[in-house]
Structure 1
Amino acid sequence: MWVSEPFECRRHDFHCLKRSGILEGRDTTSWLADKGYIGSDMLTPFRKPRKREQPRWQKGYNFRHNKIRVVVERAIAHLTTWRILHTDYRRPYNTFATTITAVIGLYFFARSE
């Protein structure tokens, strides 16, 4: 589990992921990602071709891919419903990564009991 320092301005997740340096020296070819990461070396679902039906094998691959990723998407959805993420962060800006890491750790600790 890892949380980067916050980035100023609005950027796509992949841009921030590359800038964070966490990918350096890591083999990401077996990482599952969503369609926003198409073009990286991560495993992503297939896009539906324009004005054509998607082949059945691609639909099957996407189904299996999304069946695994749904756990991640639910966790992200759960985090975004937390009230602290809906309001302005009221602590010093440079403590955000430490605070959110502690909150996530406490959440998973509470769920493990």
Structure 2
Amino acid sequence: MTPQSQNHFLTIIGTAITDHRVIQIKHNSIWRTVEPYMAGLHKESQMPSLYGFCRDVIPTLYTDKDNRWQIFRFSDIEDIELTYYEFRPHLEYTGNYDRMQPVYMKLAPGLPAGR
């Protein structure tokens, strides 16, 4: 991944997080619709990554963990698009995720007034 690609991804993700807008990413040749919550370095791999809620994934039943919350490495993202769709932060999102450190940008937990 080139520095220009990484900056492009961060610019779009930053806008999406600030404006609570959904993005679409082409991840490993498959388009995904994602609510972005956090961007930074994955703690174990130290690879630039996106943490978000994937709207395209069918939830796994009978598990404690919701499989729609996923980490996407920038190196696996082939393309990214900002949509006009808005989202409200999920109630279970706390703003803390120990697998992303350091965090470059993140959505604040809770809902801003007037939204």
Task: Return the TM-score normalized by structure 2.
Answer: 0.20
Relative contact order (C-alpha < 8 Å, sep 6+): which is higher? Answer: 2
Q: Which protein has the bigger helix share? A: 1
Q: Which protein has the bigger strand share? A: 2
Task: Return the TM-score normalized by structure 1.
Answer: 0.20
